[in-house]
Structure 1
Protein backbone atom coordinates (compact mmCIF):
# COMPACT_ATOMS: atom_id res chain seq x y z
CA UNK A 1 0.00 0.00 0.00
CA UNK A 2 1.13 3.52 -0.77
CA UNK A 3 0.14 6.17 1.76
CA UNK A 4 -0.09 9.67 0.34
CA UNK A 5 -1.19 13.03 1.66
CA UNK A 6 -4.66 13.70 0.29
CA UNK A 7 -5.18 16.28 -2.41
CA UNK A 8 -8.36 18.22 -3.14
CA UNK A 9 -9.00 15.76 -5.95
CA UNK A 10 -9.01 12.89 -3.43
CA UNK A 11 -11.80 14.36 -1.30
CA UNK A 12 -14.72 12.67 -3.13
CA UNK A 13 -13.04 9.30 -2.60
CA UNK A 14 -12.29 10.11 1.04
CA UNK A 15 -15.91 11.15 1.58
CA UNK A 16 -17.12 7.89 0.01
CA UNK A 17 -14.91 5.95 2.43
CA UNK A 18 -16.09 8.15 5.30
CA UNK A 19 -19.67 7.15 4.49
CA UNK A 20 -18.65 3.48 4.39
CA UNK A 21 -17.10 3.92 7.84
CA UNK A 22 -20.28 5.58 9.13
CA UNK A 23 -22.36 2.66 7.83
CA UNK A 24 -19.96 0.12 9.35
CA UNK A 25 -20.13 1.90 12.72
CA UNK A 26 -23.95 2.11 12.45
CA UNK A 27 -23.68 5.91 12.62
CA UNK A 28 -24.65 7.01 9.09
CA UNK A 29 -27.55 8.95 10.61
CA UNK A 30 -25.01 11.16 12.43
CA UNK A 31 -23.23 12.35 9.26
CA UNK A 32 -24.29 15.93 8.58
CA UNK A 33 -21.23 17.16 6.68
CA UNK A 34 -20.29 16.84 3.04
CA UNK A 35 -17.30 16.79 0.71
CA UNK A 36 -17.05 20.58 0.76
CA UNK A 37 -16.78 20.57 4.54
CA UNK A 38 -13.91 18.08 4.45
CA UNK A 39 -12.18 20.14 1.76
CA UNK A 40 -12.64 23.36 3.74
CA UNK A 41 -11.12 21.97 6.92
CA UNK A 42 -8.32 20.08 5.12
CA UNK A 43 -7.29 22.80 2.66
CA UNK A 44 -8.96 26.09 3.61
CA UNK A 45 -7.65 29.12 5.47
CA UNK A 46 -8.54 27.52 8.82
CA UNK A 47 -7.01 24.10 8.03
CA UNK A 48 -7.43 21.89 11.08
CA UNK A 49 -7.32 18.31 9.73
CA UNK A 50 -4.84 16.26 7.80
CA UNK A 51 -5.96 13.39 5.59
CA UNK A 52 -3.82 10.59 4.21
CA UNK A 53 -5.09 8.10 1.65
CA UNK A 54 -4.08 4.46 1.42
CA UNK A 55 -3.73 3.27 -2.17
CA UNK A 56 -3.45 -0.32 -3.33
CA UNK A 57 -3.16 -1.30 -6.98
CA UNK A 58 -4.27 2.19 -8.04
CA UNK A 59 -7.37 2.23 -5.85
CA UNK A 60 -8.02 4.23 -2.68
CA UNK A 61 -8.86 1.55 -0.10
CA UNK A 62 -8.47 3.45 3.15
CA UNK A 63 -7.65 6.70 4.83
CA UNK A 64 -6.70 8.39 8.07
CA UNK A 65 -7.94 11.75 9.24
CA UNK A 66 -6.12 13.32 12.17
CA UNK A 67 -5.47 16.62 13.87
CA UNK A 68 -3.07 18.10 16.40
CA UNK A 69 -3.84 18.12 20.10
CA UNK A 70 -1.81 19.34 23.05
CA UNK A 71 -0.96 17.68 26.35
CA UNK A 72 -0.48 20.13 29.18
CA UNK A 73 1.10 17.37 31.30
CA UNK A 74 3.63 16.42 28.62
CA UNK A 75 3.92 20.05 27.51
CA UNK A 76 3.95 19.00 23.87
CA UNK A 77 1.60 18.23 21.01
CA UNK A 78 0.07 14.93 20.02
CA UNK A 79 -2.02 13.62 17.15
CA UNK A 80 -5.63 12.54 17.48
CA UNK A 81 -6.86 10.07 14.88
CA UNK A 82 -10.48 10.88 14.17
CA UNK A 83 -10.81 8.22 11.47
CA UNK A 84 -8.81 5.24 10.38
CA UNK A 85 -10.58 3.09 7.83
CA UNK A 86 -9.84 0.26 5.44
CA UNK A 87 -12.47 -1.22 3.16
CA UNK A 88 -13.72 -4.62 4.37
CA UNK A 89 -12.26 -6.67 1.52
CA UNK A 90 -8.76 -5.36 2.37
CA UNK A 91 -8.88 -5.94 6.13
CA UNK A 92 -6.63 -8.50 7.75
CA UNK A 93 -3.83 -7.82 5.28
CA UNK A 94 -1.88 -5.28 7.34
CA UNK A 95 -3.19 -2.16 5.60
CA UNK A 96 -4.86 -0.77 8.74
CA UNK A 97 -1.67 -1.33 10.68
CA UNK A 98 0.31 0.51 8.00
CA UNK A 99 -2.06 3.48 8.23
CA UNK A 100 -1.85 3.58 12.03
CA UNK A 101 1.93 3.22 12.08
CA UNK A 102 2.17 5.99 9.49
CA UNK A 103 0.41 8.39 11.85
CA UNK A 104 2.68 7.21 14.69
CA UNK A 105 5.73 7.99 12.55
CA UNK A 106 4.38 11.46 11.72
CA UNK A 107 3.94 12.20 15.43
CA UNK A 108 7.30 10.75 16.43
CA UNK A 109 9.18 12.57 13.65
CA UNK A 110 7.78 15.88 14.94
CA UNK A 111 8.65 15.10 18.56
CA UNK A 112 5.00 14.81 19.58
CA UNK A 113 4.22 12.96 22.80
CA UNK A 114 1.31 10.73 21.87
CA UNK A 115 -1.18 9.42 19.35
CA UNK A 116 -4.76 8.88 20.51
CA UNK A 117 -8.04 7.67 19.09
CA UNK A 118 -11.33 6.17 20.17
CA UNK A 119 -12.92 2.85 19.35
CA UNK A 120 -16.50 1.74 19.81
CA UNK A 121 -16.79 -0.77 22.66
CA UNK A 122 -18.43 -3.39 20.42
CA UNK A 123 -15.57 -3.44 17.89
CA UNK A 124 -13.77 -6.30 19.62
CA UNK A 125 -11.43 -7.16 16.69
CA UNK A 126 -10.24 -3.54 16.54
CA UNK A 127 -9.75 -3.42 20.30
CA UNK A 128 -7.73 -6.64 20.21
CA UNK A 129 -5.63 -5.25 17.35
CA UNK A 130 -4.92 -1.96 19.15
CA UNK A 131 -4.04 -3.72 22.38
CA UNK A 132 -1.71 -6.11 20.48
CA UNK A 133 0.26 -3.01 19.48
CA UNK A 134 0.57 -1.90 23.11
CA UNK A 135 -2.21 0.73 23.02
CA UNK A 136 -3.98 1.13 26.33
CA UNK A 137 -7.60 2.09 26.97
CA UNK A 138 -8.19 5.18 29.09
CA UNK A 139 -10.88 3.79 31.35
CA UNK A 140 -10.51 6.52 33.98
CA UNK A 141 -11.82 9.24 31.67
CA UNK A 142 -15.35 9.97 30.50
CA UNK A 143 -15.70 11.95 27.32
CA UNK A 144 -18.30 14.72 27.17
CA UNK A 145 -19.69 16.48 24.12
CA UNK A 146 -21.79 19.54 23.36
CA UNK A 147 -23.31 19.38 19.89
CA UNK A 148 -26.17 20.97 17.99
CA UNK A 149 -28.71 23.02 19.93
CA UNK A 150 -27.01 22.84 23.35
CA UNK A 151 -23.74 24.03 21.80
CA UNK A 152 -25.50 26.88 19.98
CA UNK A 153 -27.45 27.81 23.12
CA UNK A 154 -24.32 28.11 25.24
CA UNK A 155 -22.35 29.88 22.53
CA UNK A 156 -25.13 32.45 22.20
CA UNK A 157 -25.34 32.81 25.98
CA UNK A 158 -21.65 33.73 26.21
CA UNK A 159 -21.05 37.34 27.08
CA UNK A 160 -17.71 38.94 27.60
CA UNK A 161 -16.81 40.36 30.94
CA UNK A 162 -14.84 43.48 30.23
Structure 2
Protein backbone atom coordinates (compact mmCIF):
# COMPACT_ATOMS: atom_id res chain seq x y z
CA UNK A 1 0.00 0.00 0.00
CA UNK A 2 1.53 3.31 -0.98
CA UNK A 3 0.54 6.96 -1.02
CA UNK A 4 -1.90 8.32 1.52
CA UNK A 5 -3.22 5.90 4.09
CA UNK A 6 -6.65 4.41 3.35
CA UNK A 7 -9.53 4.67 5.84
CA UNK A 8 -9.20 2.13 8.65
CA UNK A 9 -12.11 0.99 10.79
CA UNK A 10 -11.87 -1.11 13.94
CA UNK A 11 -14.99 -2.59 15.49
CA UNK A 12 -15.94 -5.28 17.97
CA UNK A 13 -16.41 -8.63 16.26
CA UNK A 14 -19.85 -10.18 16.12
CA UNK A 15 -20.96 -13.79 15.89
CA UNK A 16 -21.32 -13.27 12.13
CA UNK A 17 -17.53 -12.81 11.95
CA UNK A 18 -16.67 -16.31 13.19
CA UNK A 19 -15.64 -17.68 9.79
CA UNK A 20 -13.54 -14.57 9.12
CA UNK A 21 -11.85 -14.88 12.52
CA UNK A 22 -11.04 -18.53 11.84
CA UNK A 23 -9.58 -17.57 8.45
CA UNK A 24 -7.35 -14.96 10.12
CA UNK A 25 -6.31 -17.48 12.80
CA UNK A 26 -5.22 -19.92 10.10
CA UNK A 27 -3.32 -17.17 8.24
CA UNK A 28 -1.58 -16.19 11.48
CA UNK A 29 -0.70 -19.81 12.23
CA UNK A 30 0.80 -20.20 8.76
CA UNK A 31 2.87 -17.03 9.28
CA UNK A 32 4.07 -18.37 12.65
CA UNK A 33 4.87 -21.77 11.12
CA UNK A 34 2.31 -23.51 13.32
CA UNK A 35 -0.58 -24.46 11.03
CA UNK A 36 -0.76 -27.96 12.53
CA UNK A 37 -1.49 -26.50 15.97
CA UNK A 38 -4.80 -24.88 14.99
CA UNK A 39 -7.66 -26.93 16.42
CA UNK A 40 -10.13 -24.04 16.68
CA UNK A 41 -13.38 -24.46 14.77
CA UNK A 42 -16.20 -22.09 14.00
CA UNK A 43 -18.20 -23.80 16.76
CA UNK A 44 -15.43 -23.42 19.36
CA UNK A 45 -14.91 -19.76 18.42
CA UNK A 46 -18.65 -19.08 18.54
CA UNK A 47 -18.81 -20.54 22.05
CA UNK A 48 -15.59 -19.03 23.42
CA UNK A 49 -15.96 -15.53 21.95
CA UNK A 50 -19.74 -15.06 21.86
CA UNK A 51 -21.29 -17.72 24.07
CA UNK A 52 -22.65 -17.31 27.56
CA UNK A 53 -19.85 -16.37 29.94
CA UNK A 54 -17.35 -15.66 27.16
CA UNK A 55 -14.21 -14.08 28.60
CA UNK A 56 -12.31 -13.46 25.38
CA UNK A 57 -13.24 -10.80 22.85
CA UNK A 58 -12.29 -9.97 19.29
CA UNK A 59 -11.93 -6.93 17.06
CA UNK A 60 -12.18 -6.80 13.29
CA UNK A 61 -10.15 -4.31 11.29
CA UNK A 62 -11.14 -3.16 7.81
CA UNK A 63 -8.92 -1.15 5.49
CA UNK A 64 -10.69 0.75 2.71
CA UNK A 65 -13.75 -1.43 3.30
CA UNK A 66 -11.88 -4.76 3.06
CA UNK A 67 -11.36 -7.22 5.91
CA UNK A 68 -7.73 -6.73 6.87
CA UNK A 69 -7.08 -8.20 10.30
CA UNK A 70 -8.22 -9.07 13.77
CA UNK A 71 -7.26 -8.97 17.41
CA UNK A 72 -8.29 -11.25 20.27
CA UNK A 73 -7.97 -10.03 23.84
CA UNK A 74 -9.12 -10.68 27.39
CA UNK A 75 -8.82 -9.09 30.78
CA UNK A 76 -6.35 -10.50 33.28
CA UNK A 77 -5.42 -9.35 36.77
CA UNK A 78 -2.34 -7.91 38.46
CA UNK A 79 -2.08 -8.68 42.16
CA UNK A 80 0.70 -6.12 42.54
CA UNK A 81 -1.44 -3.38 41.06
CA UNK A 82 -4.68 -4.66 42.55
CA UNK A 83 -6.53 -4.16 39.29
CA UNK A 84 -7.20 -5.74 35.95
CA UNK A 85 -5.06 -5.55 32.87
CA UNK A 86 -5.73 -6.13 29.21
CA UNK A 87 -3.94 -9.00 27.50
CA UNK A 88 -3.69 -9.13 23.72
CA UNK A 89 -3.68 -12.79 22.72
CA UNK A 90 -3.35 -12.27 18.98
CA UNK A 91 -2.98 -9.37 16.57
CA UNK A 92 -2.88 -10.14 12.87
CA UNK A 93 -2.96 -8.07 9.70
CA UNK A 94 -3.11 -9.79 6.30
CA UNK A 95 0.02 -9.16 4.22
CA UNK A 96 -1.79 -6.98 1.65
CA UNK A 97 -2.69 -4.48 4.40
CA UNK A 98 0.54 -4.31 6.35
CA UNK A 99 2.14 -0.87 6.61
CA UNK A 100 -1.27 0.77 6.14
CA UNK A 101 -1.61 1.53 9.86
CA UNK A 102 -4.07 -1.28 10.66
CA UNK A 103 -2.00 -2.85 13.45
CA UNK A 104 -1.42 0.48 15.13
CA UNK A 105 -5.11 1.35 14.84
CA UNK A 106 -6.10 -1.88 16.61
CA UNK A 107 -3.51 -1.31 19.34
CA UNK A 108 -4.77 2.26 19.83
CA UNK A 109 -8.33 0.95 20.09
CA UNK A 110 -7.26 -1.54 22.76
CA UNK A 111 -5.13 1.03 24.60
CA UNK A 112 -8.14 3.38 24.80
CA UNK A 113 -10.24 0.50 26.11
CA UNK A 114 -7.60 -0.35 28.73
CA UNK A 115 -7.45 3.28 29.90
CA UNK A 116 -11.25 3.61 29.97
CA UNK A 117 -11.61 0.42 32.02
CA UNK A 118 -8.89 1.45 34.47
CA UNK A 119 -6.44 -1.27 33.47
CA UNK A 120 -2.98 -1.00 34.94
CA UNK A 121 -1.31 -2.84 32.06
CA UNK A 122 -1.67 -3.69 28.40
CA UNK A 123 0.47 -6.71 27.59
CA UNK A 124 1.14 -9.26 24.87
CA UNK A 125 3.78 -11.73 23.70
CA UNK A 126 5.68 -11.90 20.44
CA UNK A 127 7.84 -14.62 18.95
CA UNK A 128 11.50 -13.65 19.30
CA UNK A 129 12.20 -14.29 15.60
CA UNK A 130 9.38 -11.98 14.44
CA UNK A 131 11.63 -8.98 13.87
CA UNK A 132 9.03 -6.85 12.01
CA UNK A 133 6.60 -7.20 14.93
CA UNK A 134 9.30 -6.52 17.54
CA UNK A 135 10.38 -3.38 15.67
CA UNK A 136 6.78 -2.23 15.35
CA UNK A 137 6.04 -2.74 19.06
CA UNK A 138 9.20 -0.93 20.08
CA UNK A 139 8.33 1.94 17.70
CA UNK A 140 5.12 2.59 19.65
CA UNK A 141 6.93 2.57 23.00
CA UNK A 142 6.33 -1.02 24.15
CA UNK A 143 9.06 -2.54 26.30
CA UNK A 144 10.16 -6.19 26.19
CA UNK A 145 9.87 -7.93 29.56
CA UNK A 146 13.07 -9.91 29.10
CA UNK A 147 13.41 -11.03 32.71
CA UNK A 148 10.16 -13.03 32.55
CA UNK A 149 10.04 -16.54 31.09
CA UNK A 150 6.69 -17.72 29.83
CA UNK A 151 5.59 -21.26 30.73
CA UNK A 152 2.86 -23.37 29.19
CA UNK A 153 1.09 -26.54 30.23
CA UNK A 154 -1.17 -28.18 27.66
CA UNK A 155 -2.36 -31.51 26.33
CA UNK A 156 -1.18 -34.58 28.22
CA UNK A 157 0.90 -32.54 30.68
CA UNK A 158 -2.13 -30.46 31.64
CA UNK A 159 -4.32 -33.56 31.96
CA UNK A 160 -1.69 -35.31 34.07
CA UNK A 161 -1.32 -32.39 36.48
CA UNK A 162 -5.10 -32.09 36.78
CA UNK A 163 -5.46 -35.72 37.85
CA UNK A 164 -2.27 -35.87 39.97
CA UNK A 165 -3.08 -36.64 43.59
CA UNK A 166 -0.44 -34.22 44.79
CA UNK A 167 1.72 -36.89 46.42
CA UNK A 168 5.32 -35.79 46.57
CA UNK A 169 4.52 -32.15 45.83
CA UNK A 170 7.19 -29.62 46.70
CA UNK A 171 5.12 -26.49 46.19
TM-score, normalised to structure 1, is 0.94
Which of these residues, 7, 28, 32, is aligned with residue 25 of structure 1? 32
Q: Report the counterpart of residue 53 of structure 1 in structure 2.
A: 60
Q: How does 1:58-137 map to 2 (within 5 A)?
A: 58-137=65-144
Q: How does 1:3-42 map to 2 (within 5 A)?
A: 3-42=10-49
CA RMSD of superposed structures (Å): 1.2
| Alpha-carbon offset, residue 101 of structure 1 | 1.0
CA distance in 1, matches of 2:50, 2:164: 31
Q: Report the counterpart of residue 164 of structure 2 in structure 1.
A: 157
CA distance in 2, matches of 1:52, 1:113: 21
CA distance in 2, matches of 1:37, 1:124: 31
Count of aligned pairs:
159
Q: Which runs of 5+ in 1 are unaligned?
A: none
| Alpha-carbon offset, residue 57 of structure 1 | 3.2
Flag as ranges the 4+ runs of structure 1 deviating above 6 A.
Answer: none
CA distance in 2, matches of 1:3, 1:129: 19
Q: Which runs of 5+ in 2 are unaligned?
A: 1-7, 167-171
- Please tell me whether the aligned partners of residues 10 and 106 of structure 2 are also in contact (alpha carbons under 8 angstroms): yes
Q: Report the counterpart of residue 3 of structure 2 in structure 1.
A: none
| Alpha-carbon offset, residue 158 of structure 1 | 4.9
CA distance in 2, matches of 1:56, 1:144: 35
CA distance in 1, matches of 2:53, 2:152: 22
CA distance in 1, matches of 2:42, 2:122: 26
TM-score, normalised to structure 2, is 0.89
